[in-house]
Structure 1
Amino acid sequence: MIEKLFVFTKAQISSGIGGIVDYIIMILCTELLGVHYTVSIAIGGIVGAFINFSLNKSWTFQSKSCNYKYSYWKQLTRFAFVVINSILLKAGGTYYITTFHHISYEFSRIITDLIVSLGINYTLQHYWVFKKSAPNSIKSKL
């Protein structure tokens, strides 16, 4: 239980670092460059995703070791699938909250990020993208 909480905490730190970069890029693109905030979410999301993947692979889930079921490219492909859907959900959710509830896009984005990051991204990354394979002793019993 303690190990799961430790991994969850590390995942949230990694996500937070990527998310801060993502959020700053969204604000800069929208406010300084005049890009619509939904497009800025995608731009920031891609940059934040690279940071998040690197931190998760090397630090959070430590998937460099041989006890991981999937290769780097398979992990990257699965991660890209999660990120694309995450960006779509974040952009759509932010647009919905901003447009229909008349809340600023900056605050709408934070609300949407919390829901998507905690509810979807962590679970998929932990149990699908960076899934550990069973040790040989367990595999032989199956």
Structure 2
Amino acid sequence: MVKPVFIKAQASSLIASATDFAVTVFLVEVIHLLAIVAAAIGTITGGVVNFLLGRNWVFKAGSSPIPKQAFRYLLVWIGSFFLNIVGMAFMINLIHANYIFSKILISLLVGFFYNYLLQGKYVFK
């Protein structure tokens, strides 16, 4: 049986990813930033959304000290940021994949196999 916290974490990830994705596409298509720069800004924005949802809704860790959680989240987020940007660069520059497809694929992989595990076991424990 799937735990409710896992479902909430995936919903939070979906909301954060949608924010990330929307910011990235807006910055590429409307502002005409390079896809890698736009992806970096989108990832930062999504990270802030995910932290707030994880702390207050998913893991219900709102009573824990914010600085400690924020520091731990930052450490995990830096790894996530690195994995997302390297993954995007690999997909776009070496495989020549579409940036939207690349963003979706990399975000899903990093979200399932990195973010969820470390947020539950380390950041919001």
Q: In the TM superposition, what is the alpha-carbon distance from 1:84 to its structure 2 partner?
A: 1.9
Q: Distance in 2 between matches of 1:115 and 1:22?
A: 15
Q: State yes or no: 1:83 paired with 2:81.
A: no
Q: Helix, strand or coil: the match of 2:61?
A: coil
Aligned to 1:63: 61
Between the aligned residues of both structures, percent identity stands at: 36
Q: TM-score scaled to structure 1, two decimals? A: 0.82
Mapped partners of 2:32, 2:101: distance in 1: 18
Matching residue within 100, 103, 106 for 1:106:
100
Distance in 2 separating the partners of 1:35 and 1:11: 30
State the Cα RMSD in Å.
1.3
Q: How many pairs were matched up?
A: 125
1:73 equivalenced with 2:71 (yes/no): no
- Which segments of 5 or more consecutive residues in structure 1 lack a partner in the other structure? 132-142
Q: Which amino acid aligns with 1:102?
A: H
Find runs of 4+ consecutive structure 1 residues off by over 6 angstroms: none
Return the alpha-carbon distance in structure 2 between the equivalents of residues 88 and 32 of structure 1.
Answer: 25
Q: Which runs of 5+ in 2 are unaligned?
A: none
Asked which structure has the greater CA Rg, the reply is 1
Q: Is the 8 A contact 1:63 1:130 kept in 2?
A: yes
* C-alpha displacement of 1:105: 0.8
Within-5 A mapping of 1:22-61: 22-61=20-59
